[in-house]
Amino acid sequence: MAISKSQIDRLGERLRHGPLNESDLRLLDDYRRSFAEAYEAVVRTIRQLGEFPTGRLAKSTDSIVGKLRRESLRLSQMQDIAGCRLVIATVVDQEQLIASFSTAFPGRVIIDRRDKPSYGYRAVHIIVEISEKPVEIQLRTQLQHMWAEVSEKSSDVLDSTIKYGGGPAKWRDFLAQSSKSVMVHEDIEKLHFEEVTATQLLIESREKAEKAAAEMIEHNAPEHELQEMQQQLVDLRRQIELRRRLTEELQGDLVRSRKRNADLLNWAISTLN
């Protein structure tokens, strides 16, 4: 039997104020089950794109109640009852997936928490609605994911408020610094990719120019045309050299920022002793 929106919101209010009773748990269970079809449709489309997400068929009661108590939203407005997650290597992959999911799910809403993190949490969430049921797709890079797992696990075992900006000051500082460090690393990663791509394009142009110059010599092209082409080649070689140097510098920056991330994690481990 379909559950009306007002029934859902009344249930949300009862869950918000507690205590939980059996009939409400059953009603919540019915509501969560109603997301299965939408979830399946979203995951099927993602698999067709060659990606294999891990899914949460429905948010746990615990998380739903926690969210209702923390925020002022209604249960029917909750967009992450069902969702799935993809952990990809880098921000470059993340951008690529955002583009391909945007095409696959035209009505999607993108929530980009990379530039405006939520308590340090950085990721991209894409909300897709199928038959009025929202499904959340979480796209995390491996570093964003590592940070989120640390934040969640420390909320579990150290202090439940850590995930929402609470907890011991030294741990809050560590999470803030670590989130920022990941952001810096990923900015460099993006620049590095752009440099590698630009260098590749210049190399292709140089190869074409070299071929054209060889043909000009073979066909006895006028001297001034040949000189022009050779000047182009000199410029291209200079640009390639500059780009290569910049790429090397960025590689060095990546090594340093990776070390900085690792140092922060090792510091956090040392505090657990």
Partner 1 sequence: MIFLIEYNQSEGRIVTIRNFDDSQLRQAEDSRLEIELALNRKGIDHEVVLMDAASEVDLRRTHRRYFENLRQILEPKPLRESSPDKNRRLASG
**CB proximity list for 132: less than 8 A, separation 6 or greater:** none
Instruction: Determine, following the binding rule CB under 8 A, whether residue 26 of this chain makes contact with partner 1.
Output: yes
Instruction: Determine, following the binding rule CB under 8 A, whether residue 269 of this chain makes contact with partner 1.
Output: yes
Beta carbon nearer to partner 1, 135 or 213: 135
Instruction: Determine, following the binding rule CB under 8 A, whether residue 80 of this chain makes contact with partner 1.
Output: no
CB environment 86-121: b (16+ within 10 A), e (fewer)? bbbebbbbbeebbeebeebbeebeeeeebeebebbb
Among 9, 13, 71, 152, binds partner 1 (CB under 8 A): 152
At CA 66, angle to CA 86 and CA 155, rounded to 5?
65
Six token digits for residue 235: 């410029």
Instruction: Determine, following the binding rule CB under 8 A, whether residue 265 of this chain makes contact with partner 1.
Output: yes
Instruction: Determine, following the binding rule CB under 8 A, whether residue 179 of this chain makes contact with partner 1.
Output: no
Instruction: Determine, following the binding rule CB under 8 A, whether residue 164 of this chain makes contact with partner 1.
Output: no
Beta carbon nearer to partner 1, 125 or 213: 125
Among 45, 61, 76, 239, binds partner 1 (CB under 8 A): 61
Among 158, 214, 234, 255, binds partner 1 (CB under 8 A): 158
Beta carbon nearer to partner 1, 53 or 117: 53
- Residue 153 Cα distances to 2, 35, 169, angstroms: 36, 27, 17
Instruction: Determine, following the binding rule CB under 8 A, whether residue 98 of this chain makes contact with partner 1.
Output: no
**CB proximity list for 214: less than 8 A, separation 6 or greater:** none
Among 4, 6, 52, 225, binds partner 1 (CB under 8 A): 52
Instruction: Determine, following the binding rule CB under 8 A, whether residue 92 of this chain makes contact with partner 1.
Output: yes
Biggest distance spanned by C-alpha atoms of the chain = 92
Q: Which residue has the tokens 């590749």?
A: 200
Angle of helix 223-272 versus helix 169-218 axis, rounded to 10? 160
What is the Cα 183 distance to its own chain's centre? 11
Q: Which residues bind partner 1 (CB under 8 A)?
A: 20-22, 25-26, 29, 33, 36, 39, 43, 52-63, 84-87, 89-90, 92-93, 95-96, 99, 142-143, 145-146, 149-150, 152-154, 156-158, 160, 193, 196-197, 200-201, 258, 261-262, 265-266, 268-269, 272
